[in-house]
Structure 1
């Protein structure tokens, strides 16, 4: 068979092998979706993502305004004063808010899928200074007040105790603020509004996914330590200090009202509004990141499949051309199917033993199989052993590319350049015009 026809058939075979690779990619997507469904089910049964807003001081007041009008009574003109009273609600943010806590994690799952669940013990301390907001006319007279704390999911509350000015106060469900949704509240005596109002909240909170805080205080500081070794810090503010190790993490945030727009957003939002633009945009916190997402890593590995097939097919074709050892089209096909099986083994094994061990087992199995097979196809144990070792080296390189995403392009381009240079060096004296003529 002429070399041109052989190259065309090998290229056609590469395109045909994309079909099982696409099916494998679809299988990975399906398993990813199933994992997300299980995570959502666990969140529904436990508690979802948690975001703390507050504590805030909610005050219900009467807005009293006086209107003067001139009336005519029996030809006598006189002035009368009419007073109108309307309900008025407003929020007061704490002057200082300090959060200290610890986080403990555990894994909960169903079948082959599991998600991390966190249990955070937090102490929130601070101080309010009641300053009514300015009004256009009239005056505000407070009638009732509550301390409110917004949460992401009330089901995660395991224990809470609240003290105001050193006195314990009962906590009730519901935030009483429309745009907060989930949350808690506690009644505040009106007499406490006259002076400074210190508070202390002890809260044990469970959740999944992420834990965040909204910096509502004039000065907000958060210190948290936990046993999760792979925290992903996110949000509008990153921690000023952080330490991450195999045993866990510790982090500290400090946010001033001068560096956050939360205070302005709170002032612009009424408690009865359905939404409060800008408040949650200033949130910060952390997410429990999975160290190795087996499905994401497998999906990334499949993206290199066509490149691997091209390198191996090219190497087999090169040996066939230089050693005058014909390789049948079917033998190319079996070689490609064996390489495609690597990704199926990787996916199935990673669900049971983890991505790293699964990758090693699948790489050893496929390299050994192809080394044994190509030893017979290419006519020699040395050639088969060389292909097996070369393929193992390629799998090792791919693993490094998957684990070092920042250097993937650099390493990949270097390897491709080295492969091209090797082919050009080995074939620089080959007469391609006469090669493969029958």
Structure 2
């Protein structure tokens, strides 16, 4: 009996309790810390489809620009009214050398005289022309250019080489630069005080547009000219030019007078004033706008007379753009820059809800939620082209919010979680819309939101066991990570 007892004692001693290594590894891989890292990696992976969406937005924007150019070619492009200027050609004949090297040379020169005063009045009727699903603001403008040229100064035709000056008095013309003369809708005449009206001819005569102009704007010499008698220009004269022309997108005027006054009124309620000078006064209402400029001689910064073969003041134009209320292509493209933060905030909210509820949310489910947010941008682009940006945003954001809130609530088996996500996504979409409307404050608002989100996450997850060593077994509703 004792022997059996001793043998039993020798063979059945107590076993030491040990935790297998594989169990620790599984616990670590299922820990909140690993899940948090995987969610972060997934957020960055979702940047790939967001880039494809950005490419799609840019492609649709280029298509819209191409259609806008087609409309502009048929109706009229951006108009630039530059002038009028009095252009007088003359020659200087001089001799050089002596003996066998004696030579007589003749140089052709062009004097340009600016008006002593210039008044430009404009009435611009704007409408939107559509082609397919795209549209472009186009206008019909009635402009009245009035003023006076003073008698040329005595030193206007000074010799440069000590030669003899010969003024081609009968070749003097008044020139008005018009960027797209094809869009003129009526004949144009130069009304001279006391001498009747002189019809304009096509072309800039002795002048040309500068060769270094923006190639997008350059279309060769574009404008009109009218002959002026020697008696008229030598003594000075008053003038009046009425223009009726079509255009699109914008209209610009040059401060051609020694003193220039411009007044423009239009029925377009979304003007964008631009150029070398901004209006002194402007009134913008829901039914249109009025604007007025006054440019004195000293502010213009060039002399009263100059010698040139090119149209002056091409880099000192001022005017107004007929801006669309929302350029949604640019807005959507800009909002895609916030996609990573947008997705991360959503994932962060789901992650916190998952930890608080005890139900597991698989990383594939996170990916599906993220893809729903990417599809939001595609829906926004598609609907905006048909119903406008504001309504399209409401439709796309509402669909994405309801879908994700319902999916998260049912996956976590919690109506409260669904309602929380409904509030969170509604807030995120609301903030994103505000960011797009207030782009000057976008960085400030975005940084505050990121700080607040991080602070909330820090305190909500303060008691979370990130290692997962003491975490109870999860409820079996969702798939395990």
Same topology, TM > 0.5: yes
Cα gap change, 1:435/1:379 in structure 2, threshold over 3 Å: closer, same or farther? farther
**8 Å CA contact retained: 2:112, 2:307:** no
Contact 2:109 2:307 in 1 (8 A): no
How far 1:324 moved relative to its partner? 1.7
Q: Report 1 or 2 for greater relative contact order, CA contacts < 8 Å, sequence distance ≥ 6.
A: 2
Q: Does 1:293 align with 2:327?
A: yes
- The alpha carbon displacement at 1:133 in A equals 3.4
1:223, 1:252 within 8 Å by CA — same for their partners in 2?
Answer: yes
Which position in structure 2 is the counterpart of 1:367? 401
| Contact 2:90–2:165 (Cα < 8 Å) also in 1 | no
The residue number in structure 1 matching 2:3 is none
Q: Which protein is bigger by CA-based radius of gyration? A: 2
**Does 1:99 pair with 2:124?**
no
TM score, norm. by length of structure 2: 0.82
3-state SS of paired residue (1:143): helix
Is 1:328 equivalent to 2:362 in the alignment? yes
Between the aligned partners of 1:250 and 1:332, the Cα distance in structure 2 is 54
CA distance in structure 2 between the aligned counterparts of 1:316 and 1:68, rounded to whole angstroms: 92
- State the secondary structure of the residue aligned to 2:315: helix
- Deviations for 1:184-222, whole angstroms, at most 9, x for unmatched residues? 011112221231210000111211222111112111110
Distance 1:347 1:436, change over 3 A: farther
| Cα distance between partner residues in 1 of 2:108 and 2:192 | 25
Measure, in 2, the Cα distance between the counterparts of 1:401 and 1:407.
Answer: 7
Query: How far apart are residue 155 of structure 1 and its match?
Result: 1.0
- What are structure 1's unaligned runs of at least 5 residues? 71-81
Structure 2 gap ranges (5+): 1-29, 210-220, 474-481
What pairs with 1:155-194 in structure 2 (closer than 5 Å)? 155-159=182-186, 160-166=188-194, 167-180=196-209, 181-194=221-234
Per the alignment, do residues 436 and 38 of structure 1 end up closer, same or farther by CA in structure 2, a change over 3 Å counting? farther
TM-score normalised by the chain length of structure 1: 0.90
Alignment of 1:268-287 (within 5 A): 268-269=307-308, 271=309, 275=310, 279-287=313-321
Against the structure 1 CA distance between its residues 322 and 267, is the aligned structure 2 distance closer, same or farther, given a 3 Å change threshold?
Answer: same
Correspondence for 2:263: 223
* CA deviation profile, 1:401-423 (whole Å, cap 9, x unmatched): 11011222222222222212211
- Residue of structure 2 equivalent to 1:384: 418
How far the C-alpha of 1:164 sits from its partner, in A, is 1.3
Say if 1:96 and 1:219, in contact at 8 Å, map to a contact too: yes
Alignment map for 1:410-421 (pairs within 5 Å) = 410-421=444-455
Return the alpha-carbon distance in structure 2 between the equivalents of residues 231 and 134 of structure 1: 46
Q: Corresponding residue for 1:10?
A: 39
Deviations 1:5-56 (A, max 9, x none): 3223222322221221111110000001101111111222222211111111
Matched, 1:56 2:56: no
Give the paired residue count: 422
Counterpart of 1:251 in structure 2 is: 291
RMSD after superposition: 2.4
Residues 1:267 and 2:296 are matched in the alignment = no
Matched with 1:145 is 172
Residue 218 of structure 2 corresponds to none
Mapped partners of 2:363, 2:315: distance in 1: 59
